[in-house]
Chain A
Amino acid sequence: MQRFVSRLVSAPRIPNKFLDCFPRKRTVNKILFQLDTRLTYNEMYPIFVQVSQLTDKDSISWKKKYPYLRSSDIMQMRNVLVTLRMQNKFVHKDVLAMENKLLNVAAELGNNDAISILSFNVVQAQENDTNKDNDQNDVETANRFIKELYDRNHHLTIKLIGDTFLKNKAYKKAEKYYKEFLKLENNTKLAGEVYGNLGEIQIKQVNGFLKAEKSWLKCIELLELERSSRWYFLLAKLYSSSEPLRAKPLLESCASIGFKECFKTLGFLELNYFQNYERAKEWFKLGMEITDLECFLGFFDCSLKLKDIGSAKNCLKSLKTFENDDNKKVIIDAFLESRKDSMELLQRK
């Protein structure tokens, strides 16, 4: 009892700022289970608190304070925050700052993944010229780290080299590095991302769609939906004309996590191919909430097919609000022109 009370009294107070932004224990535990982490919530929590309060001047001997801690654990803690950001599709600046601090701590502890990410951040910042404060020495050091890690066949470094080439549209080089990565690692989540990017390179090649299809199928097999929605969508696009029946469930998966581009595609699929107007209308309705012009057009058609004159008239009114935008006005005019008969019918009623 005495020990318990003294512990309560001596425990440092957790700042409100941290409590506001940090997720609930249940949520974090769920992610820890997904990521299959080595440390438990109770072991991680004090580190999270300490990292959130860390300033540039602080120097903490992590190994002494937390003897059970490894650099990979810090990276896993960062992954928890990244996963949370992906799932919520919401960026909290304090949590983002915490992610960066964790990255720095991991690099200090000698984690190669962290060193690699930081090195690439420095190089990219210099390329983008966004951070002029970057010292030339920093860039040189970053390059040296990248080279050394590449020589050691460090997986993430190889992937990040591929990503950099892909960003700079050097597709052949990117493909080379991605393939190199896949030789080393082909059944992890990281490999899933590589498969996704590789598919995007392959689809651009002549008759590369078969390879792209295979890559994307592998990608969605390895990655969870939140991280692979883009490739779900691209795969659905690939199927949409030749095998709409295969495209539909992929698009529905995308829609389930709110991938906004898929609402109109799903709507048109239901409207034009399966001719299920009720369902198409529902998809268009969702698309209209994010003010997608094509969804308004599809909704108008669906309403007419279902003889829902009221909805069609309301949709027409809403369409007029887009007319301020010149590009959209051209499309609306073309649409109204092609629906002349329907418009007359509407006016009569």
Chain B
Amino acid sequence: MYTRLIMVRRYTTSTMTKSYPSRLKHLVKTPLYEALDNQYKSGKLQIAQGADWNAKTTTSYFPELLTETLNSTRSLPMTKFPRQEILKQVELDPKVGRWRKFITGWFRIGLYLLKMYKSGIQDTFKVYWSTRHVKREFDIKNGSLAKLVREIEMSEVNIKLSSSSLSKKADVKVASIPFSINRKQLVELIRRDQIWKLPVFFSLVFIFEEMSALIFTFFPRVCPYNCLTPGGYKKLSNVYIKETTGINDNRGLGPLKFTKQGNIKYEPPYAIPIENVYSFLKCFPQSMTSGWKLYIYKKLKLQKLLCDELEKIYQYFLIDDWLLLQGILKTEGGTAKVVLSDKELVNCVLERKLYHKDEDLNKMVNDTSGQNILLKRLFLYWSLRYDDTISFNGEHTFSEKWGVDNISLLKYNIELVITKDI
């Protein structure tokens, strides 16, 4: 727990230059971290705010389309609510009399909210509609995530077989591997289930109109994900982190766990106690199974079913991370830029729980130093998991490093590589 907290230092603008704790020092020096940092510093990786890349969904992998295929902003909530801007606009509007400026300001805020809800509902429908073909091909609830993980694994094996005679890669390089799904499609497949929140949401908006925002601030789970306001989002993020991280637990890093000695080990889903699995699943932003089902599983002590769900999330993390890293590092050496949406950055940090309770992720992402901190957390997390893997800069496949057969006992000794057998 302590180490995880170190990794996700509390956000204060002045601590940027603080030295990293010794346990994470080696991560900062890893080639993968350096490559990611260079990408960001050289401007090849940019974080854009308020941009809309929802023009189209495409499966092609050309660099100029990378940002389109990486981001799905329409399925994510806003990071900044323009309350001050609206009030300022009303203040400067000569047509609005001084006596009614206050009421008009708040009325316009309410109107803005309604418009946001409208576009949120439309986007939720669009996400659901546009992913229906992809869903037929990739049924993520029934083993498609595992197939995608296998695809990554096999592509790593292929790289390994083709480069077996070569020495260790000095630089971080990403092989051009066509993948059967792009990131936008993947995350939208996960997020498309938000449509089932619409009936309740729509009824509440219809009844309470502008006042519904107040209800959604107190009950953010009722709201579709892309209709959340930053206030509701913060409340939700606090709930997530509070319920998943106990005193001695460390499930914020997905399948990784710090031991008492400070080593990092893989924590398989089938080895976690049922209570912890349940709370983890309940607090996953876009859970693939409804809450009542999870509750029944827990009550009937159907641990296997709960673990299966957890395994799907682990698989999703792996695919998502891999696609993001492929997208970001593909531009290395070239002139192309990758633009990651601020919404996606916040969501990545939230999903992987790389934050602290009471931290306002939306506020952080709208501030340059806060954005740097979020990115660095993500870079550290990626370095921890993917440094020295064959997809980026190492000699070992991901499953050798973290997988079942990773007999991490021999420090990834090549003699015991499972891929030899296939």
Q: B149 at interface (Cβ–Cβ under 8 A)?
A: yes
Stretch in contact with the other chain, from B184-192, B324-332, B369-377, B399-407:
B399-407
Q: Which residues of B contact A338 (CB under 8 A)?
A: 409-411
CA distance A120 to B422 in the complex (A): 28
Q: Kindly name the residue among B147, B311, B409 whose own CB sees the greatest number of chain A CB atoms within 10 A.
A: B409
Known: A240-B418, A261-B421. A269 touches B404 (CB 8 A): yes
Q: Kindly name the residue among B143, B399, B415 whose own CB sees the greatest number of chain A CB atoms within 10 A.
A: B415
Q: A265 at interface (Cβ–Cβ under 8 A)?
A: yes
Stretch in contact with the other chain, from A59-67, A108-116, A164-172, A242-250:
A242-250
Whether B153 contacts A241 by the Cβ 8 Å rule is yes
Stretch in contact with the other chain, from A29-37, A123-131, A139-147, A328-336:
A328-336
CA distance A294 to B422 in the complex (A): 18
Q: Which residues of A contact B421 (CB under 8 A)?
A: 234, 237, 261
Partner pick for A240 among B155, B404, B407, B415, CB 8 A cutoff? B404
Whether B143 contacts A206 by the Cβ 8 Å rule is no
Whether B154 contacts A297 by the Cβ 8 Å rule is no
Q: B268 at interface (Cβ–Cβ under 8 A)?
A: yes
CB A213 to nearest CB in B, in angstroms, measures 8
Q: Which residues of B contact A322 (CB under 8 A)?
A: none
CA distance A26 to B266 in the complex (A): 52
Known: A234-B422, A237-B422. A242 touches B410 (CB 8 A): no
Q: Kindly name the residue among B406, B416, B418, B421 whose own CB sees the greatest number of chain A CB atoms within 10 A.
A: B416
Q: Nearest residue in B to A272 (C-beta to C-beta)? A: B404
Q: B20 at interface (Cβ–Cβ under 8 A)?
A: no
Q: Which residues of B contact A240 (CB under 8 A)?
A: 399, 403-405, 418
CA distance A161 to B410 in the complex (A): 43
Known: A203-B422, A234-B422, A241-B405. A272 touches B266 (CB 8 A): yes
Whether B270 contacts A265 by the Cβ 8 Å rule is no
Whether A243 contacts B146 by the Cβ 8 Å rule is yes
Q: A274 at interface (Cβ–Cβ under 8 A)?
A: yes
CA distance A244 to B311 in the complex (A): 10
Known: A203-B422, A274-B268, A275-B270. A297 touches B407 (CB 8 A): yes
Q: A207 at interface (Cβ–Cβ under 8 A)?
A: yes
CB B40 to nearest CB in A, in angstroms, measures 31
Whether B158 contacts A206 by the Cβ 8 Å rule is yes
In the complex, chain B residues 129-156 whose Cβ is within 8 Å of any chain A Cβ = 143, 146-147, 149-151, 153-155
Whether A330 contacts B407 by the Cβ 8 Å rule is no
Q: B38 at interface (Cβ–Cβ under 8 A)?
A: no
Whether A207 contacts B155 by the Cβ 8 Å rule is yes
Q: B271 at interface (Cβ–Cβ under 8 A)?
A: yes
Chain A interface helix/strand/loop/mixed: helix
Q: Kindly name the residue among B143, B403, B407 whose own CB sees the greatest number of chain A CB atoms within 10 A.
A: B407
Whether B409 contacts A339 by the Cβ 8 Å rule is yes
CA distance A261 to B404 in the complex (A): 16
Known: A331-B410, A331-B413, A335-B409. A242 touches B268 (CB 8 A): no
Q: A263 at interface (Cβ–Cβ under 8 A)?
A: no
Q: Which residues of A contact B149 (CB under 8 A)?
A: 241-242
Q: Which residues of B contact A335 (CB under 8 A)?
A: 409-410
Whether B407 contacts A273 by the Cβ 8 Å rule is no
Q: A210 at interface (Cβ–Cβ under 8 A)?
A: yes
Q: Which residues of A contact B154 (CB under 8 A)?
A: 203, 207, 209
Q: Which residues of B contact A261 (CB under 8 A)?
A: 421
CA distance A244 to B304 in the complex (A): 12
CA distance A213 to B153 in the complex (A): 14
CA distance A211 to B150 in the complex (A): 12
Q: Nearest residue in A to B149 (C-beta to C-beta)? A: A242
Q: Nearest residue in B to A327 (C-beta to C-beta)? A: B415
Q: B209 at interface (Cβ–Cβ under 8 A)?
A: no
Q: B315 at interface (Cβ–Cβ under 8 A)?
A: yes
Partner pick for B147 among A210, A244, A245, A331, CB 8 A cutoff? A210
Whether A334 contacts B411 by the Cβ 8 Å rule is yes
In the complex, chain B residues 5-28 whose Cβ is within 8 Å of any chain A Cβ = none
CA distance A84 to B418 in the complex (A): 32
CA distance A76 to B214 in the complex (A): 80
Whether B406 contacts A274 by the Cβ 8 Å rule is no
Q: A268 at interface (Cβ–Cβ under 8 A)?
A: yes
Q: Nearest residue in A to B410 (C-beta to C-beta)? A: A334
Q: Which residues of A contact B409 (CB under 8 A)?
A: 297, 301, 335, 338-339
CA distance A298 to B405 in the complex (A): 11
Whether A268 contacts B407 by the Cβ 8 Å rule is yes
Q: B64 at interface (Cβ–Cβ under 8 A)?
A: no
Q: B308 at interface (Cβ–Cβ under 8 A)?
A: yes
Q: Mark B235-255, 1 if CB is under 8 A from A, else 0.
A: 000000000000000000000
Q: Mark A211-238, 1 if CB is under 8 A from B, else 0.
A: 0010000000000000000000010011
Q: Nearest residue in B to A341 (C-beta to C-beta)? A: B261
Q: Which residues of B contact A206 (CB under 8 A)?
A: 155, 158
CA distance A209 to B147 in the complex (A): 9
Q: Which residues of B contact A327 (CB under 8 A)?
A: 415
Q: Which residues of A contact B418 (CB under 8 A)?
A: 237, 240, 265
CA distance A241 to B148 in the complex (A): 12
Q: Which residues of A contact B266 (CB under 8 A)?
A: 272
CA distance A246 to B304 in the complex (A): 13
CA distance A268 to B315 in the complex (A): 20
Q: Mark B259-284, 1 if CB is under 8 A from A, else 0.
A: 00000001010110000000000000
Whether B271 contacts A274 by the Cβ 8 Å rule is yes
CB A241 to nearest CB in B, in angstroms, measures 4
CA distance A244 to B158 in the complex (A): 21
Partner pick for B150 among A209, A268, A274, CB 8 A cutoff? A209
Known: A331-B416, A338-B410. A243 touches B404 (CB 8 A): no
CA distance A210 to B151 in the complex (A): 8
Known: A237-B421, A245-B308. A265 touches B405 (CB 8 A): yes
Q: Nearest residue in B to A301 (C-beta to C-beta)? A: B409
Partner pick for A294 among B143, B147, B407, CB 8 A cutoff? B407
Q: Which residues of A contact B406 (CB under 8 A)?
A: 272
- Ranked 3 nearest A-B pairs via Cβ: A241-B399, A275-B271, A242-B149
**What are 15 A-B residue pairs whose CB atoms fall within 8 Å in the complex?**
A206-B155, A206-B158, A207-B151, A209-B151, A234-B422, A238-B150, A241-B150, A243-B311, A245-B311, A261-B421, A268-B407, A273-B270, A273-B271, A297-B410, A339-B409
B-side residues, CB < 8 A to A, are: 143, 146-147, 149-151, 153-155, 158, 180, 266, 268, 270-271, 304, 308, 311, 315, 399, 403-407, 409-411, 413, 415-416, 418, 421-422
17 additional contacts, CB 8 Å, given A213-B150, A239-B150, A272-B406?
A: A207-B151, A207-B180, A210-B147, A234-B422, A240-B399, A241-B399, A243-B143, A243-B311, A244-B404, A247-B404, A275-B268, A275-B270, A301-B409, A334-B410, A335-B409, A338-B411, A339-B409
